[in-house]
Amino acid sequence: MITTVKGKVKRLGKTYIHEHIKLDLSGHKKDPDTNYNDTNEVMLELKELKKKGIDSIVEVTNRGMGRDVLIMVELAERTGLNIIASTGFYKEPFLPQYFYQLSDKELSNMLIKDIEEGMDGTHIKAHVLGEVGTSHNRITDTERRLFYIIGNVHLNTGRPIFTHTTLGTMALEQIQILEERNVDLEKVLIGHMDLNYNMEYHLRVADKGCYLGFDTIGKINYQPDENRIQLIKELVARGHENQIVLSLDLTRKSHLKKYKGIGYSYIVDKFIPLLIESGIKEETISKFLVDNPNRLLNIS
């Protein structure tokens, strides 16, 4: 069972695992491009995406990032996509002021309420704990506290945890905190692993049983897609094809086609043909898009 913004479903079909349809990080980033609010353009692109065969997206915008639950419902209705919502907190310095004032218990209860009763004054429920993050090459004390709280909520609700690593760093440290809390690592997705081009590191994370997010595909200013493909090929060769999930993580207006960006259909139009050309079988790609997301997201 998976809770979408329009109710429960049993299967999701082809799924993008880590996306945003609206968010606003411009307060701290001081860059108007990061106020990702062109809902009309997003809707047009998502309609096209659905026509190209994608069925579902996991929306990982949470508290403090400008989550907009009603827009998620509207876009689910107008595009026909399943949209799965999230709750949690992002990372410093994007945590809301109340995170520093309330107790662990109060914050945990807030997230549990988002899952069990509804978010932001609605009856629309979150399904995922994400995206919860850490800083570049370090975890602040407050981020450690965040992971501890998220671990608690996972133990209470069984919900999958989607992390954000900054440029693919601190993945093993994230896993260690969650492991100490007895989190089921088969319900954990380590995000943005594809920004770290280090095969040994990928294997160490994969050996823990987590999912690995190849979820910034097309962001070639950080990492060429050829490197992503090399990592995927090697992980598949080592038997980890059941742990790979795909997404784009579009977060800026300039990522949209209208503003000359790659747009939401990039995986279908460009990346999958490259994977096939590199020798990855279609049934393996289907695991990345269908079987793995469904296994990760489904809770009994």
Q: Least distance from C-beta 126 to Zn ion, angstroms?
A: 17
Q: Least distance from C-beta 58 to Zn ion, angstroms?
A: 12
Is the dihedral angle over the CA atoms 283, 286, 292, 295 positive or is it negative?
A: negative
- Tallying the residues shown for the chain, one arrives at 300
Query: Which stretches does DSSP call E strand in 186-228?
Result: 188-190, 211-214
Tell me: does residue 219 bind Zn ion (CB under 5 A).
no
Tell me: does residue 91 bind Zn ion (CB under 5 A).
no
Structure tokens at 70: 């009603």
Query: Which stretches does DSSP call E strand in the chain?
Result: 2-4, 7-9, 15-19, 23-24, 35-36, 56-59, 82-84, 86-87, 128-133, 161-164, 188-190, 211-214, 244-246
Among 117-125, 162-170, 265-273, 281-289, the segment contacting Zn ion (CB under 5 A): 162-170
In this complex, which beta carbon is closest to Zn ion, that of residue 22 or of residue 164? 164
Measured at CB, which residue is nearest to Zn ion? 164
Q: Least distance from C-beta 213 to Zn ion, angstroms?
A: 9
Residues of span 110-149 touching Zn ion by CB under 5 A: 131
Has 179 been labeled as part of a binding site?
Answer: no
Given a contact cutoff of 8 angstroms between Cβ atoms, the answer to whether 46 and 257 are in contact is: no
Report the alpha-carbon distance of residue 255 to residue 219 in Å, rounded.
Answer: 9
Among 81-89, 156-164, 170-178, 206-214, the segment contacting Zn ion (CB under 5 A): 156-164
In this complex, which beta carbon is closest to Zn ion, that of residue 68 or of residue 131? 131
State how far the alpha carbon of 72 is from the alpha carbons of 6, 28, 42, 61, 188, in Å.
Answer: 9, 24, 11, 11, 23
In this complex, which beta carbon is closest to Zn ion, that of residue 67 or of residue 164? 164
Has 131 been labeled as part of a binding site?
Answer: yes
Q: Least distance from C-beta 164 to Zn ion, angstroms?
A: 4
Q: Least distance from C-beta 183 to Zn ion, angstroms?
A: 19
Has 249 been labeled as part of a binding site?
Answer: yes
Tell me: does residue 164 bind Zn ion (CB under 5 A).
yes
Total interface residues for Zn ion by CB under 5 A: 2
Has 20 been labeled as part of a binding site?
Answer: yes
In this complex, which beta carbon is closest to Zn ion, that of residue 134 or of residue 236? 134
The radius of gyration computed from the CA coordinates of the chain, to the nearest angstrom, equals 18
In this complex, which beta carbon is closest to Zn ion, that of residue 192 or of residue 287? 192
In this complex, which beta carbon is closest to Zn ion, that of residue 132 or of residue 236? 132
Classify strands 244-246 and 211-214 as parallel, antiparallel or unpaired.
parallel
Q: Least distance from C-beta 25 to Zn ion, angstroms?
A: 10
State how far the alpha carbon of 24 is from the alpha carbons of 69, 72, 93, 94, 230, in Å.
Answer: 14, 15, 13, 10, 33
Q: Least distance from C-beta 249 to Zn ion, angstroms?
A: 6
φ, ψ of residue 275 in degrees (nearest 5) = -60, -45
In this complex, which beta carbon is closest to Zn ion, that of residue 137 or of residue 278? 137
Among 28-36, 42-50, 81-89, 157-165, the segment contacting Zn ion (CB under 5 A): 157-165
CB proximity list for 132: less than 8 A, separation 6 or greater:
62, 88, 89, 90, 91, 146, 147, 150, 161, 162, 163, 164
Binding site for Zn ion (CB under 5 A): 131, 164
- Binding-site annotation: residue ranges for a divalent metal cation: 18, 20, 131, 164, 192, 249
- Binding-site annotation: residue ranges: 18, 20, 131, 164, 192, 249
